[in-house]
Structure 1
Amino acid sequence: MGEIWFEIVIVFLLLLINGVFAMTEIAVVSARKARLRQMADQGSSGSKVALELSESPSQFLATVQVGITLVGIFAGAFGGATIAEIIDDWLQSIPVLAPYGESIGLGIVVICITYFSLVIGELVPKRIALGNPEGIASRVAVPMKLLSKIASPGVRLLSASTDALLYVLPFKPSAETAVTEEEIRLLMQEGLRSGAFNEVESEIVHSALELDQLTVEDIMTPRIKITWLDKNEPHEAVWHKIAVSGHTFFPVYEGTRDNIVGIVSIKALYANLAAGLPARIPDLMTDPLVVPATQPVMQLLDTFRRTGKHIALVVDEFGGIDGLVALNDVMEAILGDFPSREERLRPDCKQRADGTWLVDGLVSIDRLQEILPGLVVSDEDAEDVQTLAGLVMKRLGRIPNEGEQFRYQDFQFEVIDMDRHRVDKLLIGRAPQQEEPEE
């Protein structure tokens, strides 16, 4: 009886060795190279060796396969030659089974060794390896590398045979492909589902990946929203414009607005005031950086980095000023909109105590429909217009005057303020019910 337990222990140890080989193979192959590289940079010598094995896996995989194959052969041969013989001896005492003792013993050994080989030698070790591939790869890499060196003569022969066979076959191994943008997106989605990343981090990465699809025109401040400073304007008028604008950079023109002579920042103006120096616009202007509206945002970011400037004028194909773009606009494209001082202090839509709305003319049609339940702008009215001001001029067919009123659907619109030819502010409320004529 003691003899069979000794044989079983030997077979069990061989299956454990098989499991170590299987676990090592899966751990090294599935380990993330970026994580191994990070662990190696932190001083883990095992991670450094594991990284070497994962980047040049041919000899390592051949060594593992040789080990698994030899262990499997030894386990099968040892079990068949010893344990099956012992079982056969037991069965000889049973007259009915005695003639078939050898076959039955061999069958029992094959079934048992196959079962435990799959569970102990393959499935369990591989499941463990997939649970922590980088940690396990770091622990087993050093002994596996030593074993690879010992087995190198035989491994070289096997590798040469494999390469020769692959050369003959029509299937050629392809080089490892670089990580694609789509793979990064999928990794972020997986990380978001697993809790490794939060929603804000995921949105930032997605926005950063979309930067190369944006142009300056997509993120710039349009010409109509720029606060312009006339170089020859009186000092008091300039400071009044700056105070009410809420902006931080101002193009300075001379004559016409397409003749830009410089850009001045509010930071430079206040710095001079704080130092007791005169804050004169002409003295504090800097030469404007000019970029085309069609320039990709990634190129704009590189331009800001090379020049050290954080603001640029945007021009169209004819050289006219289209708008203004700042480094802050690039950051907002990645991180989302930051509320400006103007937006914090003077909201574009403000509901008054009587239920009416004071609305900026630049409010989008979509935003207008959000704040006015029941208002549905038809496709015909919304065609070629994007803002409330555009809708007003399309409905009237002309530039309106201050104080002018009109009815649209169930709402009464009143033009409160005009900025030259631009509709600046409107007051919107429910229109009075129209009385039906008596029959």
Structure 2
Amino acid sequence: MAELAVVSIRRAKMQKYLEDGNKNAQIVFDLLEDPNEFLSTVQIGISLIGVLTGALGGVTLAKPLAQYISFIPYAEPVSVAIVVIVTTYLTLVIGEIVPKVIALNDPERVSLKVAKSMVVLSKISKPVSFVLAKSSSFLLWLMRVENRNDDIVTEEEIKLMIEEGREDGTIEQEEEDIIKRVFKLDDQKVESIMTPRNEIIWIDLEDDRELNKVKIIESKRSIFPIASGELDDFIGVVQAKDILSAMFSGDEFDVHKIVKEPLVVSEHLETLELLKEFKENQGYVHMCLVVDEFGSVEGLITLNDLLEGIVGDIPGIDEEDEPKAIERDDGTWLIDGRYPIDRFKELFDFKDNLPDEEEDGYTTLAGFILSISGTIPDEEDKYECDRFIFEIVDIDGHQIDKVLVTDLGPQEPNEEGE
């Protein structure tokens, strides 16, 4: 029981006991530091109990039992067999199975209770356990088996534990989705969540003031990049509330007085790093401009975009043109070309990578179509990939606007395993 309990503990939970002042928790950690010696000590105890049980059982029980059943032939061998069977049964049930089940059910509590006794037993059997530990280490060395004593929890293991928690009912589906999205942040580039350049609504200082006024009112957005002539020559960003405040103040309106400096990041920055940038640069407004290696603006990201990357879609009055996926009556899906490829995979519960997903780095459904086609497709063109059939429904200039997606369902392997 002791060895199974100690090696089965969750280190994080045992660390909590240690922080709460439980001195036995430190003993448990010390035992884990040298598992060879600890297991040797346990094995010595198990072997001694087995030998003593067999010897005493044969001496104290076999002979009286043989006399009691002396009326049957071969009474002595039969009595020995009965004693061995009963002893083995009791040893397995009481000495092995039941204690180990108890240890597995609550390894931390059992470990804390047996910790001191294991230390005492270790000191008593120190000479023998030392020889056994060194012998086992030598054999492992000969077999080129590394004696690893680390307990590294990987991202995949955490995801599996979360899935188990959801199946048990201790974790809600929404909690699981949020945690998985957080893990994705470290793998995503900012371009996967940005508003592309052709959809950015910005204020051009060279335009007529009335034109900019209409643009601000109709966009329903609260913050705008501001530039002169070209978006690449951006000056900063302005917030609608500052414009409104300046207009009501009665002073002469000067847009340069309300311009704020945005955060500017590379298109290759990871999304998690961008979140850190937002936190560390508290003087900036909650918007950043994404530029390429030549300094040209590629897109725009708000703090709300980052939040949606964690909690999912958040409806907003300024997002009427948000890319959508609509299921039709026949089971097919009409999906916008700008629909994020990560959300597409979540929609169809598709776990694998799509072709050249990492190599080409596409982030939208349209980008995926361009990757597999190698050219600008025409309307009614069809492409089949894995379990999906993609049909181009609408092309807006050179941009894929609408795609009809047919999901054939998970592909079952044939009998030959192909």
Could you say whether these structures have the same fold, taking a TM-score greater than 0.5 normalized by the shorter chain as the test? yes
TM-score, L = length of structure 2: 0.72
From the CA coordinates, give the structure whose radius of gyration is larger. Answer: 1
Aligned to 1:419: none
1:313 aligned to 270, 280, 289, which one?
289
Aligned counterparts of 2:231 and 2:125: Cα–Cα separation in 1: 79
Structure 1 contact 231–282 (Cα < 8 Å) conserved: no
Gaps of 5+ in 1: 1-22, 349-361, 396-439
Structure 2 contact 379–393 (Cα < 8 Å) conserved: no
Structure 2 contact 63–79 (Cα < 8 Å) conserved: yes
Aligned to 1:415: none
Cα-to-partner distance string for 1:219-261 (whole Å, 9 max, x where unaligned): 0012233221234667666555444433232111112222101
1:327 aligned to 279, 295, 303, which one?
303
Offset of residue 376 of structure 1: 7.5
Change (3 A) 1:381 1:171: same
1:58 aligned to 33, 36, 49, which one?
36
One-letter identity of the residue aligned with 1:260: F
Aligned counterparts of 2:253 and 2:159: Cα–Cα separation in 1: 49
1:70 aligned to 15, 32, 48, which one?
48
Counterpart check, 1:252 vs 2:241: no
Offset of residue 156 of structure 1: 1.6
Give the alignment of 1:178-193 within 5 angstroms: 178-193=152-167
TM-score, L = length of structure 1: 0.69
Aligned to 2:410: none
Give the helix-richer structure, 1 or 2. 1
Aligned to 1:128: 102
Change (3 A) 1:117 1:259: same
Change (3 A) 1:237 1:177: same
One-letter identity of the residue aligned with 2:199: K
One-letter identity of the residue aligned with 2:56: F
1:381 aligned to 361, 379, 383, which one?
379
What SS does structure 2 have at the residue aligned with 1:381? coil
Counterpart check, 1:281 vs 2:251: no
Task: Between 74-83 and 196-205, report the one with greater CA deviation.
Answer: 196-205
One-letter identity of the residue aligned with 2:49: V
Aligned counterparts of 1:124 and 1:240: Cα–Cα separation in 2: 78
Change (3 A) 1:246 1:66: farther
Aligned to 2:196: 222
Give the alignment of 1:17-416 within 5 angstroms: 23-92=1-70, 94=71, 96-97=72-73, 100-176=74-150, 178-231=152-205, 238=212, 240-266=214-240, 280-308=254-282, 309=284, 310-343=286-319, 347=320, 366-367=325-326, 370=328, 380-381=378-379, 391=395
Offset of residue 202 of structure 1: 1.0
Aligned counterparts of 1:266 and 1:129: Cα–Cα separation in 2: 63
Structure 2 contact 378–395 (Cα < 8 Å) conserved: no
Aligned counterparts of 1:245 and 1:190: Cα–Cα separation in 2: 45
Structure 2 contact 222–240 (Cα < 8 Å) conserved: yes
Q: Percent identity?
A: 35
Cα-to-partner distance string for 1:115-144 (whole Å, 9 max, x where unaligned): 111111111111111111122222222332
What SS does structure 2 have at the residue aligned with 1:153? helix
Task: Between 292-301 and 240-249, report the one with greater CA deviation.
Answer: 240-249
Aligned counterparts of 1:373 and 1:172: Cα–Cα separation in 2: 54
One-letter identity of the residue aligned with 1:340: G
Structure 1 contact 230–254 (Cα < 8 Å) conserved: yes
What SS does structure 2 have at the residue aligned with 1:340? coil
Aligned counterparts of 1:138 and 1:274: Cα–Cα separation in 2: 70
What SS does structure 1 have at the residue aligned with 2:119? helix
One-letter identity of the residue aligned with 1:31: I
One-letter identity of the residue aligned with 1:313: L
Change (3 A) 1:157 1:233: same
Structure 2 contact 24–115 (Cα < 8 Å) conserved: yes
Structure 1 contact 270–279 (Cα < 8 Å) conserved: no
Offset of residue 273 of structure 1: 8.3
Offset of residue 61 of structure 1: 1.8
Structure 2 contact 36–137 (Cα < 8 Å) conserved: no
One-letter identity of the residue aligned with 2:379: D
One-letter identity of the residue aligned with 2:305: D
Change (3 A) 1:341 1:41: farther
Aligned counterparts of 1:154 and 1:42: Cα–Cα separation in 2: 35
What SS does structure 2 have at the residue aligned with 1:144? helix
One-letter identity of the residue aligned with 1:391: I
One-letter identity of the residue aligned with 2:16: Q
Aligned counterparts of 1:161 and 1:275: Cα–Cα separation in 2: 86
Cα-to-partner distance string for 1:68-100 (whole Å, 9 max, x where unaligned): 1111111111101111111122233x2x43xx2
Offset of residue 154 of structure 1: 2.8
Aligned counterparts of 1:381 and 1:332: Cα–Cα separation in 2: 32
Structure 1 contact 246–340 (Cα < 8 Å) conserved: no
Structure 2 contact 226–238 (Cα < 8 Å) conserved: yes
Aligned counterparts of 2:6 and 2:251: Cα–Cα separation in 1: 67
One-letter identity of the residue aligned with 1:326: T
Task: Between 278-287 and 212-221, report the one with greater CA deviation.
Answer: 278-287
Aligned counterparts of 2:67 and 2:251: Cα–Cα separation in 1: 110
Change (3 A) 1:246 1:193: same
Task: Between 150-159 and 62-71, report the one with greater CA deviation.
Answer: 150-159
Gaps of 5+ in 2: 336-376, 383-389, 400-418
One-letter identity of the residue aligned with 2:311: L
